[in-house]
């Protein structure tokens, strides 16, 4: 695949990958030695290299990762889902750290306020 792709060409390539992946699933494999168009051969090689399909004898068959993509309907949704999960995993610890910092910073003013209240009460007696 090309190093720098625009958004439209990237989505076009992902649609091609979807089509080939669904074809492998529907036909329960596609032949390795068949004469495919150049774009289709490139997509097959990329899918095999990425682990979405694997070579089983003389046929390419779908793998568990390929089935997971199909379960998400397409590579676009699959990539969005995995990217969101990665972002959520990164954000959760940061949010917990911020919460702990605020808890520690709030305890000092609360203690200071309680000390002032106690001092005021003892002075009034």
Report the C-alpha gap between 55 and 2 in whole angstroms.
24
**Both 118 and 58 in a single domain?**
no
**Both 40 and 15 in a single domain?**
yes
Task: Compute the half-sphere exposure of residue 3: CA atoms within 13 Å on the CB side of its CA.
Answer: 0
Q: What is the CATH number of the domain that holds 23?
A: 1.10.10
Residue 122 has pLDDT above 80, yes or no: yes
Residue 3 lies in domain: 1-71
Residue 95 has pLDDT above 60, yes or no: no
The two three-digit tokens of residue 72, written as one number:
């998400």
- The string of pLDDT tens digits covering residues 35-69 is 777 777 787 787 888 777 888 788 888 778 777 77
Check residue 1 and give its pLDDT: 45
Burial of 54 (0-12, 13-18, 19+ CB in 10 A): middle
pTM exceeds 0.85 for this model: no
**Both 63 and 102 in a single domain?**
no
Domain count, the chain: 2
**Both 2 and 62 in a single domain?**
yes
């Amino acid at each position: 695949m090309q190093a720098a792709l625009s958004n439209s060409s990237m989505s076009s390539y992902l649609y091609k990958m979807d089509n080939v992946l669904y074809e492998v699933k529907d036909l329960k494999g596609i032949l390795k030695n068949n004469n495919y168009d150049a774009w289709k051969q490139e997509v097959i090689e990329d899918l095999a290299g990425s682990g979405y399909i694997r070579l089983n004898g003389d046929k390419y068959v779908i793998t568990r990762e390929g089935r997971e993509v199909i379960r998400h309907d397409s590579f676009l949704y699959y990539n969005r889902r995995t990217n969101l999960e990665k972002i959520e995993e990164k954000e959760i610890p940061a949010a917990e750290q911020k919460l702990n910092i605020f808890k520690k910073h709030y305890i000092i003013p609360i203690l200071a306020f309680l000390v002032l209240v106690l001092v005021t009460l003892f002075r009034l007696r």
